[in-house]
């Protein structure tokens, strides 16, 4: 899908932040033809939105936090244990809050 999207960007069918109607029509047609699948516009749009959110999170992590890098071998964010520890503690705290919230709703 991304290869087809890049082609549409390169031919000008994504002039700003969004693909044009023609761009989306071409994405649907080219992808379905190349894969012999039958996805519709809405499915492609959902995938695009999901990938965009993941990319924005990745860019935020890499761009704003120091001590972060990219492990090309593992294809993961590289960070020291000192960087991860507060993040893990925060997630653990959120999980406890969710569990407490769930138990009060039963």
Tell me: do 18 and 6 sit in the same domain. Answer: yes
- pLDDT over 80 at 13, yes or no: yes
- pLDDT over 80 at 46, yes or no: yes
Overall domain count for the chain: 2
User: What's the predicted TM-score (pTM) here?
Assistant: 0.57
Phi and psi dihedrals of 68, rounded to 5? -105, 150
Tell me: do 21 and 38 sit in the same domain. Answer: yes
Tell me: do 47 and 83 sit in the same domain. Answer: no
What average pLDDT does this structure show over 52-77? 79
**Cα–Cα nearest to 1, from 16, 17, 19:** 19
Domain range enclosing 91: 66-106
Neighbours of 7 (CB within 10 A): 14
What average pLDDT does this structure show over 79-97? 81
Tell me: do 9 and 60 sit in the same domain. Answer: yes
Tell me: do 8 and 59 sit in the same domain. Answer: yes
């Amino acid at each position: 899908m991304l290869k087809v999207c890049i082609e549409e960007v390169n031919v000008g069918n994504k002039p700003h932040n969004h693909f044009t109607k023609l761009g989306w029509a071409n994405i649907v047609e080219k992808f379905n033809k190349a894969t012999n699948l039958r996805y519709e516009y809405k499915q492609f749009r959902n995938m695009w939105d999901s990938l965009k959110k993941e990319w924005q999170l990745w860019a935020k992590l890499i761009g704003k936090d120091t001590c972060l890098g990219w492990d090309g071998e593992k294809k993961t964010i590289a960070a020291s244990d000192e960087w991860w520890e507060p993040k893990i503690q925060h997630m653990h705290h959120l999980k406890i809050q969710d569990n407490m919230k769930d138990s009060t709703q039963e």
